[in-house]
Structure 1
């Protein structure tokens, strides 16, 4: 990563490194979520990673899925 962010910096500064178009690209460039296929015109925000894009809705869905699996696993261990 070109920029290094210290842990004490504002989270918005850190998040801005991973959202929006890559350096040199226009906001008008159409990009698609690698998970649901919706374009950047159809979603609020897109997180950009190496060779992958994911919209905020899919991030939330994945976070819910992980949370549910962890809870189910923890409950199974207790039984």
Structure 2
């Protein structure tokens, strides 16, 4: 099952839940997805170097939100 289908199913199950329950279930879901990816028989590793771009907003330095390389790494190269 593609990750997108799992995310949609999980989102439906979280509808109407409290913020604490959403946080708890989201962490559990993320752990399951990561473990599934790491236990895959044909696991392939990618190595990539990229810049982490920070922008100053309201006097605070924040990580740039639209960094495709960073997003790809954080999603374990899953296609959404």
Pair in the same fold by TM > 0.5: no
Q: TM-score, normalised by structure 1?
A: 0.32
With CA pairs under 8 Å and 6+ residues apart, which has the higher RCO, 1 or 2? 2
Higher helix share: 2
